[in-house]
Amino acid sequence: MAIPAHEDAMRPRENGRTRTAAPMMAGNWWTASPRYRAYVAYAFAGVLFWLQALILVRGLWALGTGEVAWNAYLEDLQNPIYVAFHVLSLAVLVWYGARTYFKLFVKTQPPKIGPLPRPPLGVFPPALAAAWIVVSLALIVVLGGIWP
Amino acid sequence: MEHGPAKRFVNAIEPLIWGPFVTGNFLTPLVFPAIVLMLGIAQPLGWLPADALSYERAHALATHPITVLGILVVMPLAMLAGSHHLRFGIIDVGSAEHDGPVALLLYGLWQLGAVATAVAILRIFFA
């Protein structure tokens, strides 16, 4: 079944002299290829961003309520359903990050960054991987009670 | 194509949203995996020292200026990235017809989430 597509889909650079029909697309287009499915999964990872953000806000709220609420929050997180959800979330977030930093980032860089020429594209993946490792290790060290 | 007021408003604000969306899209997978690993997996499975996430330590960490700044930047941007991504996911697999109200709902939720984050942080200082 055809459904309306985004109004800018397949829009020509300049409008033609005659009106054209609104763009349509097949309703199940995204099932046709693994690439399309990955693209849609990437977009719907937004649900996960929201759920994780809400879990964290709930933690902050508990921290503001007091020690009993904070301990209850940590106890809730021990529910096997929560743990399974977090394992799934971790896998999706790592996949999402790898796709963002190593696949999409280099394709979306302009030729100039401000007044400066863009560094060679090959520089970005190792630099982003290093940033990812450094930030993750810093958070693991702090949240793991190692430092400070 | 004639648009309703919701869609016209969303079209007007959309250029302002792409920048924060890209930033959120970059920062969320940078920061969230380690937090999920530690808070959502390591802590429940008992891999952390007993006092790593004790109330006193968590309170001290959450009220540190760097943490407060980080939370106030990353959390709203993560929510915006989630809303914006979801909006375009819905356009792509569903329909662009209802984009105006859907976008208003998702961006409205983002604003509520951002305010809730700020209030939650503020409450910690008075706990």
* pLDDT tens-digit readout, B20-64: 999 999 999 999 999 999 999 999 999 999 999 999 999 999 999
- Contact assignment for A144 to B38 by CB distance below 8 Å: yes
- CA dist B90 and A47 (Å) reads 11
Q: Where are the domains of chain A?
A: 34-143
Q: What local confidence, expressed as pLDDT, does residue A120 receive?
A: 93
- Contact assignment for B37 to A140 by CB distance below 8 Å: yes
Asked if A41 reaches chain B (Cβ–Cβ under 8 Å), the answer is no
Distance of CA B52 to the CA centre of its chain: 25
Overall number of domains in chain B = 1
Q: Which chain B positions have a beta carbon within 8 Å of A57's beta carbon? A: 75, 113, 116-117, 120
Q: Which of A65, A58, A86 is nearest to B55 (CA)?
A: A65
Distances from the Cα of B75 to the Cα of A9, A30, A52, A89, B104, angstroms: 31, 30, 10, 16, 19
Percentage of the residues of chain B whose pLDDT score is greater than 70: 98
Tell me which DSSP letter residue A116 carries.
E
pLDDT tens per residue across span A35-77:
999 999 999 999 999 999 999 999 999 999 999 999 999 999 9
> Comparing A4-8, A43-47, B6-10, B72-76, which segment has the lowest mean pLDDT?
A4-8
Asked if A46 reaches chain B (Cβ–Cβ under 8 Å), the answer is yes
Residue ranges of chain A with per-residue pLDDT less than 50: none
Mean pLDDT, rounded, for B77-100: 92
- Contact assignment for B92 to A83 by CB distance below 8 Å: no
Kindly report the pTM of this predicted structure: 0.93
pLDDT band at B1 (very low <50, low <70, confident <90, very high): low
Enclosing domain of residue B119 = 5-126
Return the residue in B2, B18, B64, B85 with the most chain A beta carbons within 10 A, the one to mutate for interface testing.
Answer: B85
Asked if B55 reaches chain A (Cβ–Cβ under 8 Å), the answer is yes
Q: Which chain A positions have a beta carbon within 8 Å of B29's beta carbon? A: 93-94, 96-97, 100-101, 132
Q: B77: domain CATH number?
A: 1.20.1300.10
Fold adopted by A34-143: 3 helical TM bundles of succinate and fumarate reductases (1.20.1300)
Q: What local confidence, expressed as pLDDT, does residue A81 receive?
A: 97
Distances from the Cα of B114 to the Cα of A16, A54, B107, angstroms: 43, 11, 10
